[in-house]
Structure 1
Amino acid sequence: MFAKPLFHSARAVAGALVGIMVAASAARAQSQNAIITGKVVGDAGQPIEFANVFISELTLSVPTNAQGSYSISIPAARALGQAVNLRVRAVGYQPGMVAIKLTGGAQSHNFALKKDINRLSEIVVTGSIEGTERSKVPFAIGRVTAADLPVPALNPVTALQGKVAGMRIASTSGRPGSTPEILLRGPTSINASGRSTGPLLIVDGTILRNQSLNEIGGLDIESVEVVKGAAGAALYGSSAANGVIVIKTKRGALRDEVKFNFRSEYGISDLNSSQYGAPEFHPLQLDETGTRFCVAGAGNVAPCSRTFNWMEEILRINSVNADTIRTQQSAQFNSPGSGGELLNVFQANVWPGQRYNAFAQMSQQNPVTLNSLDASGRAGGVRYFVSGAFTSDRGAIRNLEGQQQRRARVNLDYDIRPNLTVSVSTLFDKSSTDSRGSFFGGLLRGAPPGTDYLVRDSLGRGIIKGGGTGFRPTGNGGGTFLYATENQTGRSSGTRYLASMTTTYTPSDWASFEALYSYDFRNSLSDNYVTKGYRTDGVSAATNNGNQSVGNSNRESMNAQISATFRKQITSDLNAKVNFRGLIDRDFSRSNSSAGQVYVVKNIYTLSNTTTNFSTGSSSALIKNMGGIAGANVDYKGKYILDGTYRYDGSSLFGEGNRWAPFGRLSAVWRVSEESFFSLPKVSDFRVRASRGSAGNTPNFSAQYETYNCSASGCSLGQAGNSQLKPETTTENEFGTDLTLFGRLGVEVTYAQSLTRNQILNVPTPSSLGFASKWQNAGTLQNKTWEVALNLPVITKKDFQWNTRATWDRNRAYITDLFMPEYFTGAGTGQGTGSLFLITARKDKVDGVPVNRFGNIWGRKFYKTCSDLPSSLQAQCGGGKAYQVNDQGWVVWAGEGNSYRDGITKNLWQTKLPAAQSPWNFPLQFGHPIVDRPLKGEKGEGVGINHIIGNTLPKFRFALNNTVTYKKLSLYALLDATIGHNIQNQGEGWGLLDLSSNYFDQGNASVETAKPLGYGWRVGGSEGAGSGGFYDLLGPNNYNTEDGSYAKFREVSLTYQIGKVAGMGDWTLSAIGRNMFTFTKYSGYDPEVGVSGGQAGSGLINQVDAFDFPTLRTYTISLSTRF
């Protein structure tokens, strides 16, 4: 009778026990930490290192290791069974996400990420009110990460060459330590005197007012973002019309561990070429043996009655125990006169004895060294990145020491609380640079091939004269680099300190606050001296007795800002955010210099040891800026994004009556491929964007003020002041699209058109004012730009990858308004380039080119085809006619019934067409090129007509880089090309004057094609001495202005991943070449040239080859490891 109740009782007890066990198990599970592990791989199955796996809801993130694995541990107290999104991001891949339930215990989630062809998922910060996916950024922005830099550059600017469409970078000087010049899209200032034409540079929040990135260090770069025009740069206001480059340096790791990276690179620096147009032949008269030079006749002494051996004469004049040299014997035909000598002497004699290449003798393969060590990790709440580096680049010039740098960086991020972070970035750099190297012009203009410039005289000294006067028409080529480098010293040293601190506070999801303070200090010292007893060609007390100049400069700048960002989800599909900022910055610079001549005591290099011509100078400048920003962003369904920014800037550089100026932007993005109706086959990630924005250029420091020129004798008026001077304001409309074709080819296309109004120009003033000029807002400059970027992963297999990226861009700039008389201006070099550019707003065409196109080169034109001749003379041009095209492609006068080939056989080189019989009322010499002039009776007859003979800005640019990886071996190459611009080859002009141009070598010419000296030496008649040749007193013409198109292999590397060695490290071995090969038809040393200064202010606009420091190439081996 009790069995049934007992059974029920037992079942109840058992059920209770099971319930207790389940509850206990659940409790144990609840008390366990949540462990999430997994692996992140690419679409080909390859592991992805440094991918960021994170849970936004918990503000947790970890990186993947070399195997692509990750592990996240979440305390039990935070793992409450809630639903969260586990996300992953990796550079170059589309982001991944999986929804998970966060419970105690272990769970695993793997990710296979697809390639992000156009990198639209990357987070960018430049130009936006806060970090934003590129797919939602409404303007073009270039982004380069450390992964895109397989060839680390000694200078971070150089590392960007060929990687961003619309960004032109060139090293117009090869001096170690020089900063390459940058031009984004096109010029925004007609007259940039005293101002930079480069973009605004920002490193870790610090504004670099001195425009130098040389000290930053390429190996410390994490990413570089480039905004190329005002449509994207409006957020940066009055300093950003030339674009903005924002550099972020590396930060600490997310895991509690320390990672070290060591890299050592060693190699050589070399000249790009040892050929620079030196002639193989000469026109000087030799004796009957062909081994000795004839001494020029004088008085009753007949030519060639005395002779000399070239090198014996060089040694004779140099080997004297004095501050000067002996008087040299002048060679016959060293300086041909007009008429007979010019028309009878040919540059066709072989140099007797050994020939030397002065450029090759000047060069020397010197070592390049780059050693770096860094450590990154996390200790508790502090993430850190610490690095140290030493670089030495001695260049490739004999006896010069180049530049050496020592650099240290400490970056810290302290997570005080999950919503409060303080970030600190610091850099210290100390450098020493050899500043010598002013002898290139004198050496390359006319160094005789028969001179051994490395020879020592009988007293063991380097020679001080190897050519020049007596051997050449001028003193060019007379100097020598060996003696100069051994007896002159020039060195500058500098220190640079950068520091910034950013505090970020996020009290809630809808609000965040940020404060930034940054500091930049740069000090430089220079010391240059010439030793007492320095030898010269002629007597020079200031040089023979030594001289010295010293200088120091300091530049100290700071910038600070506070910002607040508020976010609101208005509806489930509509999100908005607003941002407010206040900014200030201050820039103070000071410099001092002193100089003196004639040392009292030898080898004591202090100014107190000098006795004459003391001079001192000093300057200082203080610039203050401040501004306020309001910005808003609206995102509807992640498909329609509207963005607006307003900035109001005040600056002490503006005129007192216009201290403030507004700037702003309105822009939008439509992500078309997110639409339900979008169904274009083979097209994905399609979006269109449009932006209209404005940014500015400030006047130079003194432009608003009255200036006076003062000396011991009194003061004179300089420029008039202008209290109403405004900044230049660039307003840009930018339109673009991004898409992916066939799931493989990424395409980015951008068109931008800008107008920069209120051009700051130095306008002549009425003489009644007493001042010569006044800076005024007096013009408008327009730019039209196309940019294209293509990304193609050609092959993406696990063991074999091939990735290609190409960029293409073109720009046209025009002066559309000019509220002052048009005028000619130069490139800042003098020597014939004083009227290189015409500043005008005229829209008519000359030679088929709009006259108002910026960068047009103006000069005289020699006829090249029969159709170039005036229409009335074209019928007289051709074989057997009066005018003929010769073998070099120039129209020459030959006379009816003659041939231009008859000059020697028929003794016609002496023949001249008198001015009275010439259609131009100007005499013509047989076989000589003909300058375009007005015909007889026309206005201006007799004087050459100014033509547009080229343009210094390229027709287009392109770059192509390829990376091919097979297992552990990787090959990378970057080809960078600039096409369709012109260079005024000043060196060739000097070569014509000094009879040292190889273009006029006649030793290999036939009797029919040989040309006398006059064919290349000066224009004729009232415009100069000579018989009518190409030398135009160094002025630009269509002979010495050449096509400067070129393509360069900027970077080439071959890398092998060795892996562990003896169980330690992860070793990599690389062979690297920089600027290895140049493909060009330009006749000068290197087409990558230019002169800073002048009104244009940039060597990328002033395309004049004027004997600057020659560009270099390097070959190195690199060994690196991480552990």
Structure 2
Amino acid sequence: MHACYPGPRIPDVPNLPPPTAMLRSLVLPHVRAVVTALVVAAAASATMLQAQVATAPPPTTARRARITGVVTDLASKAPIFGANVTILGTPLTGTTGADGRFVIVSAPPGIFTIEAKRVGFAPQRVENVRLVADSVMTLSFAMNISATRLDQVTVSGTIDETSVAKATITVEKLTMEDLPVPPTASAASMLAGKVAGLAITRPSGAPGSGVNIVMRTPISGITEGGAVPSPLFVVDGIFLNQGQSITTQDIESLDIESIEVIKGAAAASLYGSRAAAGVIAITTKRGKGLALGSTQFQLRGESGIDQYQVTLDKNQHHQFMQDPQGNWLNATGQTVPREQRALKPLGIMDAPYTSPTYNQAALFYQPGSYNTQTATVQGNSAATNFNVAYTRTINPGVLENNEGYKRQSIRVNLDSRLSEKLSVGISANHTRGVQDVSAPSFNNFYRIDTDVNLRAKAPFPQFGFPYVIVPDSVTLYTNPLYTQFIADNVVRRARTLINVNGVYRPFSWLSMAADGNYDRGDLNQVSYTARGTPLVTSSGGLSPSTGSLYIANNITDGYILTGTATATKQFGALTARLSERAEARREYNPSLNTTGTDFATEGLKAMAQARTKNSSQSITDYRVMGIITTLGLSYADKYIGDFLWRREGNSLFGSANRWNTFGRASVAWLLTEENWFPFTSFNNFKLRYSFGVTGVSPNFSNQYEAMSSDGSGAIRRSSLGNVNITPTFTQESELGLDLSWNSRLSVSLTYVKNSSKDVFVNIPAPAVSGYQIVVTNPARLGGTVYEATVQGAILTNPRGLQWTMLLVADHSDLSTGRFGRTCFADGLQHKCDGIRLTEMWGNQIVRDKADLPARHINSLSQFDVNDEGFVVPVGIGNTWRDGIGKSLWGSTVIVDGVSYGWGLPLPRYDANGQLTYAKIGDSNPGLKYGFNNNFRYGNFRLYVQAAGQFGGNVYANSNQTFYASGDHPNVDQYGKPDELKKSVRYYNAVSNNNNLYLANFVESGAHVAISELLLGYTFEAKQYPFLTKIGVGRMQVDLMGRNLATFTRYSGLNVMAGSPTVRFDDATYPLTRTFTSVITLTF
């Protein structure tokens, strides 16, 4: 299939300079040069730090101000040593001494925000400080050891830095103190259970696999097979191109300094048509947190084991005929090979195996390992701060002959304050990853009988494989060990991120900033089967492969340029901030996929050897222009407003709707600043309201006609272009309350109501056009969300036990207000007006005699309700318990002229004779929650996270699949009384032979998981002199556990499977639990 999307030049949007040439090698040569140069520059800066200690910019003849003060611990009142006090927007910084005092000399006059920061404490700010020439300003800071999120500063939801305590929108900021256990997989998974309104599921435990994320409620994804849009990821100001899958696989979590989660249309409106699903903004380490004049070297090593968490128990009994000696028998009682054995007359699985049985999971899975090493050097001086880090990760997983996932990452961040008016910065990151894709069918693995030895030695090994290739003569499935043994399917990724920025402050009231961002992603997949490789045929024999080779090359290449001017002015008690930003963005994504078969030569891995080749190629190229205006107002620091307007031109929008507008209006009222506020124990009591509009861009192909060729020369029209297509617009109203009590407890409560209009839907194209479908904007979605975040310092004794906690919880509701086309079934979802995206729709098994067909109204006595609640046909004078006693299993019953299998459940039909189709469940939980606890005592630290949900359903397709094949442990009847035993055919009927979505396989998804655990001890050199002898200032030893245990009544394989909108559990690579030890040396 080959689709062609003509992409004419868009006259409405200026044609920006083209990006670098595509389809080159995976590693950009010029990036190596840039990174090398930065490393050299950073190292040079480190050698100069001592000379720069406490050095301010060169003095000028202008009249200056002076700032002095003291920084103390709020709880103990003791002075804090090593805190940095900074005039934001300038390079001027002072560091506290042992007495907690600081001084900043030669400060420019104007209105500034002064911030005090120290590792382990909440940052403290004093805003709107007026510095007057030839005067001294005295400030005092009382810092709390418990850094609540209201104490943080956000830089992502607004153009300028804003205190969360005074923000008018919802932005959750997490620092590395909140993220002590780095994930083994996607960096985004570290947010699970820590942010209210964030739903994260992980459908696979394969090394390098990603997660599914939905913020609050889905805002699109209603098209047939349509996926819910994922959040926009921003790393150091760089928008990550979303043309590649598992974007967060390219982010090294150990580089992260903080993460800001921007939820909802109001908060994310700054980002326009890419942000309706929310924004996750990541800031990496830059050395700013170090004391002035210091350089720090750090080595970190982590090593441990990986274990599969849940697997399906295998049946220990069978349902086949056997003589006392253990020989298999056919229906006439003759001894036959295993593959010709016959079912016992009643087909009950309760006969013990006479031959050895095996633990298939222990034979197939192996204990894996996890290793990561990091080397970091960072420094901070009056003029320069930098961070250089290298990380190497190896995670082979739990499959034999599979290398899992490997990644190497190097990052260089450098900031330089060239003068008190000008500062520049650069960030460069290059990551390479190699993923050995797992090959076995996990469904087939669980179907192999327990008397089959996967590691039975082959009498005549083939292709170097020592075991029998087809170990089960009945199922004829390929040995999964062999499937992985011959697999050669490798995905190589490379990601290069570069940000160059500068800030110029010509006057105290004006600042100008510019950013240049570049993102390049390369993905290369090669899947190869050598000619002559033995493959299993449908009859269980072996046939040599003719050879096949698949090569995919996909590139994402884009840049973003922004320029911002911000003016701040004070008019009495009113402070106004006006910002103008211009943005230009381009993304270019070429891909080339080639498949070759029928190779001429054995062992030669080259496409030129393939006699038959098929290729497909695509190119997407789009551009965005944006103008953003923001106005921030603060009156007496108690009435705050923030207003944003964004005008965006986007070539993904239809030519008739090329330009669109997004924006927000938000206000906040700090009641604690009112003289009449009666509760003096509250540090902060804020009401906030915001309304915003943001959007989702159409796909590149939606506005163009698409045709395809089947390779025979015939052209088929597939998709009709839509020049009128618009982005999806998401509106959101948010009402919130933020409060902080006695600097020990903070609470945030938020109510959200959102609606999305112009949601994309595939509809049948007009017949006269000759096309099959066209993408339009007819649908509407709406939802409500309730969020709560509670954070507090329960125990704060600086010399005893300290305990801080974080509790997050949320509930959401979603409905489809309008679908805009004929209703249809899309897997478990029913796409129709008024139907929630999270609802599960399917069929039912009869559980009430009243639901039997009307023809049986006078024959209800010939049906019975069994112990599992199903209505089953039993005939006259029988009950469901008579299957063995009267030898009825396997027989038929005729009721009112209809023949039924005795004792077998029946699918439910409606009055029209059609299978009933109705709601059978809902993936949406009643409540999601996370509970995080940090304990400290002396040098010890303990961190525990529990997360889970109440309510919500999961579709246990894994159970249905193995009911149908007779491999589920519930099919094993050994040990039951005869009257309760059921035949294998019964369980096949319960699953309807795995052909329908059935209500009886919908289970509760309620669970609680102990997802993260850390126990650590810090060795300080001043306490342990032996460290000084080897040049180590501090040594941290940690024991970490991830995905330790899940407590649930769910009977399937993975209660956290699927996506937040469709919780569908199937047999995949199992989730793993990881135990590691970590040693971190700081020099």
Structure 2 CA distance for partners of 1:96 and 1:556, relative to 1, 3 Å: closer
Matched, 1:187 2:188: no
Matched, 1:448 2:458: no
The match for 2:921 is 950
State the secondary structure of the residue aligned to 1:1004.
coil
Structure 2 CA distance for partners of 1:50 and 1:753, relative to 1, 3 Å: farther
State the secondary structure of the residue aligned to 2:963.
helix
Give the aligned residue type for 2:193.
Answer: G
The match for 1:256 is 293
Deviation track 1:704-734 (CA, whole Å, cap 9, x = no partner) reads 1111112332201111111100111101111
The match for 1:383 is 385
- TM-superposed CA distance for 1:784, in Å, is 1.2
The match for 1:756 is 756
Equivalent positions of 1:360-759 (< 5 A) are 360-378=362-380, 381-444=383-446, 446-460=447-461, 461-463=465-467, 465-466=469-470, 471-472=474-475, 478-538=477-537, 544-571=545-572, 573-610=573-610, 612-680=611-679, 685-710=684-709, 711-740=711-740, 744-759=744-759
The match for 1:354 is 356
State the secondary structure of the residue aligned to 1:758.
strand
Question: When the two structures are superposed, what TM-score results if normalisation uses the length of structure 2?
Answer: 0.86
- TM-superposed CA distance for 1:554, in Å, is 1.6
- TM-superposed CA distance for 1:915, in Å, is 4.3
Decide whether the 8 Å contact of 1:885 with 1:891 is kept in 2: yes
The match for 1:6 is none
The match for 1:141 is 171
Matched, 1:168 2:129: no
- TM-superposed CA distance for 1:178, in Å, is 1.8
Tell me how far apart the structure 1 counterparts of residues 114 and 763 of structure 2 sit (CA, whole Å).
64
Consecutive unaligned residues of structure 1, counting only runs of 5 or more, are 1-32, 311-328, 334-340, 827-835, 843-851, 1019-1028, 1091-1098
Tell me how far apart the structure 1 counterparts of residues 395 and 207 of structure 2 sit (CA, whole Å).
6
Structure 2 CA distance for partners of 1:1014 and 1:219, relative to 1, 3 Å: same
The match for 1:306 is 335
Give the aligned residue type for 1:158.
Answer: S
Tell me how far apart the structure 2 counterparts of residues 986 and 1088 of structure 1 sit (CA, whole Å).
13
Give the aligned residue type for 2:85.
Answer: V
Matched, 1:803 2:801: no
Tell me how far apart the structure 1 counterparts of residues 1074 and 851 of structure 2 sit (CA, whole Å).
45
Deviation track 1:637-676 (CA, whole Å, cap 9, x = no partner) reads 1111111111111111111111111111111111122222
CA RMSD, 1 decimal = 3.4
Structure 2 CA distance for partners of 1:872 and 1:644, relative to 1, 3 Å: farther
Structure 2 CA distance for partners of 1:261 and 1:103, relative to 1, 3 Å: farther
Deviation track 1:948-1007 (CA, whole Å, cap 9, x = no partner) reads 111223222111111111111111111110332323323222212322111111112111
Count of paired positions: 998
- TM-superposed CA distance for 1:127, in Å, is 1.8
Matched, 1:1119 2:1075: no
The match for 1:856 is 839
Deviation track 1:74-107 (CA, whole Å, cap 9, x = no partner) reads 56xx499999998624575372779999999x99
The match for 1:1066 is 1034
Decide whether the 8 Å contact of 1:915 with 1:923 is kept in 2: yes
Decide whether the 8 Å contact of 1:464 with 1:535 is kept in 2: no
Structure 2 CA distance for partners of 1:181 and 1:543, relative to 1, 3 Å: farther
Question: When the two structures are superposed, what TM-score results if normalisation uses the length of structure 1?
Answer: 0.83
- TM-superposed CA distance for 1:272, in Å, is 1.0
- TM-superposed CA distance for 1:394, in Å, is 0.9
Tell me how far apart the structure 2 counterparts of residues 492 and 871 of structure 1 sit (CA, whole Å).
58
Structure 2 CA distance for partners of 1:107 and 1:623, relative to 1, 3 Å: closer
> Which protein is bigger by CA-based radius of gyration?
1
- TM-superposed CA distance for 1:114, in Å, is 3.7
The match for 1:829 is none
Decide whether the 8 Å contact of 1:439 with 1:479 is kept in 2: no
Consecutive unaligned residues of structure 2, counting only runs of 5 or more, are 1-64
Give the aligned residue type for 1:825.
Answer: D
- TM-superposed CA distance for 1:634, in Å, is 1.2
Matched, 1:201 2:203: no
Decide whether the 8 Å contact of 1:62 with 1:71 is kept in 2: no
Tell me how far apart the structure 2 counterparts of residues 437 and 976 of structure 1 sit (CA, whole Å).
31
State the secondary structure of the residue aligned to 1:973.
strand
Tell me how far apart the structure 2 counterparts of residues 681 and 874 of structure 1 sit (CA, whole Å).
73
Structure 2 CA distance for partners of 1:875 and 1:226, relative to 1, 3 Å: farther
- TM-superposed CA distance for 1:756, in Å, is 0.6
Tell me how far apart the structure 2 counterparts of residues 373 and 913 of structure 1 sit (CA, whole Å).
74
Give the aligned residue type for 1:823.
Answer: F
Decide whether the 8 Å contact of 1:462 with 1:482 is kept in 2: no
Tell me how far apart the structure 2 counterparts of residues 92 and 961 of structure 1 sit (CA, whole Å).
18
The match for 2:831 is 839
State the secondary structure of the residue aligned to 2:401.
coil
Tell me how far apart the structure 2 counterparts of residues 1080 and 855 of structure 1 sit (CA, whole Å).
21
Decide whether the 8 Å contact of 1:186 with 1:783 is kept in 2: yes
Quick one: which of 1062, 1077, 1085 aligns to 2:1053?
Answer: 1085
Structure 2 CA distance for partners of 1:276 and 1:61, relative to 1, 3 Å: same
Structure 2 CA distance for partners of 1:47 and 1:802, relative to 1, 3 Å: farther
Tell me how far apart the structure 2 counterparts of residues 1112 and 417 of structure 1 sit (CA, whole Å).
52
Tell me how far apart the structure 1 counterparts of residues 574 and 793 of structure 2 sit (CA, whole Å).
36
Tell me how far apart the structure 2 counterparts of residues 909 and 1015 of structure 1 sit (CA, whole Å).
9
Quick one: which of 289, 304, 307 aligns to 1:267?
Answer: 304
Decide whether the 8 Å contact of 1:94 with 1:121 is kept in 2: yes
Tell me how far apart the structure 2 counterparts of residues 784 and 86 of structure 1 sit (CA, whole Å).
38
The match for 1:846 is none
Equivalent positions of 1:930-949 (< 5 A) are 930-934=906-910, 938=911, 940-941=912-913, 943-949=914-920
Tell me how far apart the structure 1 counterparts of residues 700 and 107 of structure 2 sit (CA, whole Å).
61
The match for 2:11 is none
The match for 1:330 is 340
Tell me how far apart the structure 2 counterparts of residues 48 and 458 of structure 1 sit (CA, whole Å).
74
Quick one: which of 904, 910, 915 aligns to 1:928?
Answer: 904
- TM-superposed CA distance for 1:543, in Å, is 5.8
Structure 2 CA distance for partners of 1:96 and 1:549, relative to 1, 3 Å: closer
The match for 2:35 is none
Matched, 1:287 2:323: yes
Tell me how far apart the structure 1 counterparts of residues 790 and 354 of structure 2 sit (CA, whole Å).
56
The match for 1:326 is none
Decide whether the 8 Å contact of 1:94 with 1:115 is kept in 2: no
Decide whether the 8 Å contact of 2:810 with 2:928 is kept in 1: yes
Decide whether the 8 Å contact of 1:433 with 1:491 is kept in 2: yes
Decide whether the 8 Å contact of 2:220 with 2:228 is kept in 1: no
Of 346-355 and 866-875, the range deviating more from structure 2: 866-875
The match for 1:156 is 187
Matched, 1:1106 2:1066: yes
State the secondary structure of the residue aligned to 2:646.
strand
The match for 1:220 is 255
- TM-superposed CA distance for 1:590, in Å, is 1.2
Tell me how far apart the structure 2 counterparts of residues 766 and 225 of structure 1 sit (CA, whole Å).
46
- TM-superposed CA distance for 1:505, in Å, is 1.0
Tell me how far apart the structure 2 counterparts of residues 905 and 869 of structure 1 sit (CA, whole Å).
26
- TM-superposed CA distance for 1:287, in Å, is 1.9
Decide whether the 8 Å contact of 1:985 with 1:1040 is kept in 2: yes
Structure 2 CA distance for partners of 1:535 and 1:262, relative to 1, 3 Å: same
- TM-superposed CA distance for 1:838, in Å, is 1.0
Decide whether the 8 Å contact of 1:439 with 1:480 is kept in 2: no
Of 743-752 and 573-582, the range deviating more from structure 2: 743-752
The match for 1:784 is 784
